[in-house]
Structure 1
Amino acid sequence: MNFDLPPTGTDPSPAFVNAIACQDWLVTVPLANAVQAQSMFLRQLNLLHRFALPASERFAILDTLRGPVSDVQGDAVKKFASKPLPFAPHEQAALDSTLNVWHMLALGYLRCFESLCAGDSGVITTAVLQSKRTLLAGDQELAAKIAVLAQRTLSVFADWQVDLCRGEQLPDPTYWKKLHQIFSAAETLGIAARAVNDPVRHGNAPTSALAAYGECNLLSTANPYELPARHLAWVARWARRWGAKLALLKMPPEDIRNRAVPLWVDLESDRPASYAPRASSSGRWLETTELRKSLVARIALLEQGRAPAQLQLGDDVTQPAAGQLLERVLQRWCKGGVPRRHERRSASGTCNFIAGFEAVHYHLSGRQMFHAPSRDDTTLRREREQFETFGDHSHKAGSTGGEEGASNLENWEIMDDWRLLDESATGLRISRPLKEGARIGAGQLIAVKTQDSQHFTLGNVRWALREGDASLAAGIQLFPGQPRPVAIRTVEADGRGTWRPGFLLPEAADLKEPPSVVVPVGTFRIERSIEVMVDEKLRVLKLSRVLDRGVEFERCNFHD
């Protein structure tokens, strides 16, 4: 086992070499300024990592830094989380700084862990670890220190992983290789499940190295890159809280009738947990039966009307999103994942791609700007006020609001060319060079046309990920049927809303897809009436349920 850490020396020295001096230094850090604070933290962590110190002193310094670092990191993620790709320069800089700080903090704890695990030769082997395990059996104080170090190291990896996902990236093989090595060492030492305290991440609740390791694998199997930023924060919190409910098995459970489907991981691999075991002497099973009981109980209580905060899901968690998200993680954490509805096959060629609700409506309407089919009293009054204030130029035909409308139109003229990687009846996986084309993000409404298609198909960006330094990949969910651009407005007891763009989609009997309407986000309410103008004919529909929801749209069932 080799963690590939650089050698240490005594020059140059960090600004502090003990925990008391570190506390004094923290007073000088502008914690309210994330950019400046991250720069200061990163410089000192780099110097500290290469400076020779006893493991106990290094650990005390890192634990002193960890709370303030976590607070600053939480402020920094606001600059890049949920932003479309590719990131703007300031967003990319914020992401790079955030990941670098987590990386260096993790390496600092890892150096402490390595120094306590290694033998006289400085090399960590199975024999050395087994010898250490015998020593730890008689030295509970040392065992407790190593258990804390293992937990701290793995928990920083978990924080690092969450911010990777917020930055639309996945942990690389090196990340998983090191994570497995750390946990494997903790398991061999016999301290993986030993209870420790971590006030920064868990308050007064006990945790362990196994809980932190389980958290990382729960995050991975939840496919967090498909989630909006708010839901990703919820899932990350739940994985942190419920990682302690996992048990580690060296053999699969014998009686699986009343058990959850366990996750399987290979400790000698560079891959995260999966659902399908393979032949490996280092395979382990993460038992999720206790986790399943907790999830099922909370789902049932939510259905009975209990508030999410009462179930310790978080004060910011709301219904019905909480129940839907719990169902999602239950399937991925305890039921063996989500099978594909339709077989995916390899594909090639290029496809045209339009991103954004208004841009899609513009192109599918024959490059016509959206105009309300009629002007109600509210619209007439607003236009009259605009005329009295700005004059006639503010609402000329084809204008959507002066310079902003002109800028939007310029963007709408752009259609990206993407390379098709694979496809199914209801989805595509596509890629393109990172910095060529419009910015896209998960939850965006899009229209796509492959070389074999005669018309554009409406869809949703399920995920967008940066792959390496130069490539952008995206997973697209397709809405079957040829979309029809329409105008829609809500109907309320006290009047009618403003006309807005929308789409009608026909029934797709072969895919068991009912007819649906795509409306701007925030439109849906059960049994809400909407007016739909189609070819100058008016239809009144009642919305029944949401089929899909993104950051700018809702696709809904309806009845007349």
Structure 2
Amino acid sequence: MHPFALPATGLTHPPELGAARAARDWLQQFDSTQPLNAQASLLGQINLLNRYRMAAGERLRVIEELRDAVLHAQAGASSRFAGRPLPLSAGERAAFDANQAMWDALATSYLHCLAAALDGDGGVAGQVGLIAHRALSALSQMQLDALRAAHLPPTGYWRRTHACYEAAEKLGAAERKIQDHTLNDERPTSVRAAYVLCVLMHTASPFGLTHRQLRMLYRWLGKWSGKVALLDSAIHQCALPPLMLDLSSDEAIARAAQRESSLRWLVLDEFSHGIRKRLGLLAQGETPVALRLGDELSPAQADRLLRHLHTHCCRGGLTRAEPRRPLQQNASVVVGMLAVQQFLGGGTPALDMVQSASLQVTAATGYLVEEWRILDDSATGLRLGRRIGGDGMRICNGMLLAVRPDNAPQFMLAHTCWVMANGIELQIGIRLLAGTPQPVGLARAPDGEGEHRGHGLLMPAVERIGQPECVALPSGWYRKSRDILLSDGAGRRRVRLVESLERGADFDLARIEPAA
């Protein structure tokens, strides 16, 4: 019995693509211009293939014929859910579920072949490295697309991924060199590198990144994961704390060894050195293209993403500067810059009305006060959760919030640092700003009149934590050294936008000083 969770096979429903020649002929008539239709056709054929009993060698030849068509269809259909706010709409959810089912079916085909190799099937004996790498490649892309939709991979994902690597290790194929054109790298890779890629994508704190950053990170790790050593015993001579893995578990990282654990350790010293070397060269003026980081990022963006990767992957998972405390408490939350402006400008009577009204009524007011559970907190942030199916606004990284825990006297400003769907629960991590937000009018014209007007939220300076006086602006308002006019009930004053402190999805937070 293999730990791959494979479907049972039989001879009752023979697939149309039961041989490599049949697959080639079918692909010649295949319409790949409509990604959703192509995806559905491929998924149906591969599911039939996965439930049909056939020689492992022929199964491998068939799925190799279909693989490029699968990759093309998946790339075309992923735009329907990647980077969308949560919860996903019904259409987005259907596209995401089809995507995950396709990756699962592709991995299952290769795992059928790997199971046959474990059973001594001579028809695939010389292809074990290719088979295991192809399976892990499908699993890693399944993980990537789940992360791009801000979802955790499904239950059983890590048990399957660990089992695939362990099988390759047992068959002596973990270090076999494999060429994979999907990595955009002419250098060969290995089963070990494909497995390490999955683990590092998990440890890189992916839910705080955009779906484009995740795609870039995946490319980088596909090229660099071969620099990570994977050992079956702990060592103490490495400069960085190794990551401990348990191949018998359904978790990416092992927190503690269990009696039946099958432990491995990732040694990240060489991987860390490569990242730090690239950071140094960027600081000296080298371009991302020259460093083979791609042409989609500016030097500053590449620097930030490299630092994020190093911080979260190369410190043994110990990346929190502040400890979190578990809590059993609720919080009232208003989501979005415009909603927060309208809510804070409406005062307490509006809050009472919203809390007792239905979603349809509150939507007409421009804001909704939602109830979230506080899962844990730290000095500057909270982790919140609510049911995905409950009433509430859709939310994404970088949105402005107004938050009031049940034991707090007033609402505070915050912004989302990460968003994640975990089964039936939506979770967010937020960073709080100290002080009471004050609604202010904004104007760009010297006299405060004209078309360039808007509304913002003024935050006071808090010296004890080093927070300067700042203003939350609507997106598009910030420009370094721009003078604007702030107005409230006490009058007007001219200030200068000195520095961007945070650039969110629907707001910019800028440090201000009196204008000259």
TM-score after normalising by structure 1: 0.83
AA at the equivalent of 1:328: H
The 5-angstrom pairing of residues 517-536 of structure 1 reads 517-535=471-489
Instruction: Output one character per residue of 1:171-224: Cα deviation in whole Å (capped at 9) or x when no partner.
Output: 244111111111112122222122111223345320111111010011000121
Distance 1:497 1:311, change over 3 A: farther
Report the counterpart of residue 161 of structure 1 in structure 2. 143
Secondary structure at 2:15's aligned position in 1? coil
Match of residue 413 from structure 2 = 458
Residue in 1 that maps onto 2:353: none
- Name the CA distance, whole Å, in 2 between partners of 1:4 and 1:271: 16
Paired amino acid for 1:345: R
User: Of residues 487, 501, 506 in structure 2, which corresponds to 1:547?
Assistant: 501
Query: Identity over the aligned pairs, expressed in percent?
Result: 34
Deviation at 1:411, TM superposition (A): 5.9
Please say if 1:503 is aligned against 2:457. Answer: yes
1:151-170 deviation digits (Å, cap 9, x = unpaired): 11111110000111122211
- State the distance in 2 between where 1:113 and 1:193 align: 16
1:305 to 275, 278, 285: 285
Q: Deviations over 1:357-399 (max 9, x none)?
A: 111011111269xxxxxxxxxxxxxxxxxxxxxxxxxxxxxxx
- Pair 1:198 & 2:153 matched: no
> Is 1:176 the counterpart of 2:158 in the alignment?
yes
Question: How many Å apart are 1:491 and its aligned residue?
Answer: 7.5
Q: Report how far residue 505 of structure 1 moved.
A: 1.3
More deviation in 419-428 or 105-114?
A: 419-428
Q: Distance in 1 between matches of 2:486 and 2:257?
A: 54
Pair 265,482 (structure 1): closer, same or farther in 2 beyond 3 Å: same
After TM superposition, list the pairs within 5 Å mapping 1:208-219 onto structure 2.
208-219=190-201
Q: Quote how far apart the aligned CAs of 1:497 are.
A: 7.8
Indicate the residue corresponding to 1:482 in structure 2: 436
The 1-side partners of 2:365 and 2:211 are apart by 25
Aligned residue in 2 for 1:424 = 378
Aligned partner (choices 295, 311, 321) of residue 331 of structure 1: 311
Structure 1 residues 189 and 219: CA distance shift in structure 2, 3 A? same
Which amino acid in structure 1 is aligned with residue 35 of structure 2?
A: A
Q: Distance in 1 between matches of 2:389 and 2:510?
A: 34
Q: Following the alignment from structure 2 to structure 1, what is the Cα–Cα distance between the partners of residues 321 and 3?
A: 43
CA shift digits 1:21-75 (9 cap, x unpaired)? 2122123333221221111111001101011222122112212211121121112
CA distance in 1, matches of 2:367, 2:48: 50
Q: Structure 1 residue 347 and structure 2 residue 302: aligned?
A: no
In 2 relative to 1, CA 534–338 (structure 1 residues): closer, same or farther, beyond 3 Å?
A: farther
Counterpart Cα distance in 1 of 2:304 and 2:19: 48
Task: Check the 8 A contact 2:342/2:367 in 1, yes or no.
Answer: no
Paired residue for 1:3? 4
Greater CA drift, 148-157 or 201-210: 201-210
Q: Name the SS for the 1:365 alignment partner.
A: helix
User: Relative to structure 1, is the Cα distance of residues 346 and 408 closer, same or farther in structure 2, using a 3 angstrom cutoff?
Assistant: closer
For the residues of structure 1 that align with 2:333 and 2:252, how far apart are their CA atoms?
Answer: 32
- The within-5 A match list for 1:101-140 is 101-119=102-120
Check the 8 A contact 1:161/1:216 in 2, yes or no. yes
For the 8 Å contact 2:403–2:413, the answer to whether it is kept is yes
Distance 1:309 1:113, change over 3 A: same
After superposition, the Cα gap between the structure-2 partners of 1:254 and 1:339, relative to the gap in structure 1 and judged at 3 Å, is closer
**Which residue of 2 is the match for residue 77 of structure 1?**
78
Distance in 2, matches of 1:549 and 1:185, equals: 46
1:301 alignment partner, SS class: helix
Paired residue for 2:241? 261
Whole-Å Cα distance in 1 between the matches of residues 438 and 281 of structure 2? 41
Shift of the 142–6 alpha-carbon distance from structure 1 to 2, 3 Å rule, reads closer
1:28 corresponds to which residue?
29
> Could you list the runs of 5+ residues in structure 2 that have no partner in the other structure?
349-359
Aligned residues: 498
Aligned to 2:442, the other structure's residue is in SS state strand
Aligned counterpart, 2:296? 316
Change (3 A) 1:411 1:62: farther
Q: Structure 1 residue 515 and structure 2 residue 469: aligned?
A: yes
Deviations 1:461-497 (A, max 9, x none): 22222222x32222222122211122334579xx998
Is 2:127 aligned against 1:145?
A: yes
1:234, 1:317 within 8 Å by CA — same for their partners in 2?
Answer: no
Conservation of the 8 A alpha-carbon contact between 1:491 and 1:529: no
- For 2:77 and 2:177, the matched residues in 1 are separated by 31
Tell which deviates more after alignment, 156-165 or 47-56.
Answer: 47-56
Name the structure 2 match of 1:221: 203
Write the distance in 2 (CA, Å) between the matches of 1:455 and 1:487.
21
1:296 aligns with 2:287: no
Asked whether the equivalents of residues 471 and 510 of structure 2 are also in contact (C-alpha less than 8 Å), the reply is: yes
What SS does structure 2 have at the residue aligned with 1:87? coil
Distance 1:44 1:312 in 2: 38
Query: How does 1:278-297 map onto structure 2 within 5 Å?
Result: 278=257, 282-297=262-277
Distance 1:198 1:407, change over 3 A: farther
Question: Counterparts of 1:96 and 1:2 in 2: how far apart (Å)?
Answer: 23
1:394-405 to structure 2, matched below 5 A, reads: none
Is the partner of 1:5 in helix, strand or coil?
Answer: coil
Greater alpha carbon shift after TM alignment, 420-429 vs 527-536: 527-536
3-state SS of paired residue (1:480): coil
Indicate the residue corresponding to 1:371 in structure 2: none
Q: 1:414 to 1:16 in 2, by over 3 A?
A: same
Deviation at 1:454, TM superposition (A): 1.5
Structure 1: gaps spanning 5 or more residues: 121-138, 369-405
**RMSD between superposed Cα atoms in Å:** 2.7
- Following the alignment from structure 1 to structure 2, what is the Cα–Cα distance between the partners of residues 2 and 337? 27
2-structure distance, mates of 1:23, 1:203: 27
Q: Look up the equivalent residue of 2:160 and give its one-letter code.
A: K
How many angstroms does 1:542 deviate by?
3.3
1:30 partner letter: D
Task: State whether residues 362 and 368 of structure 2, in contact with CA within 8 Å, keep that contact through their aligned partners in structure 1.
Answer: no
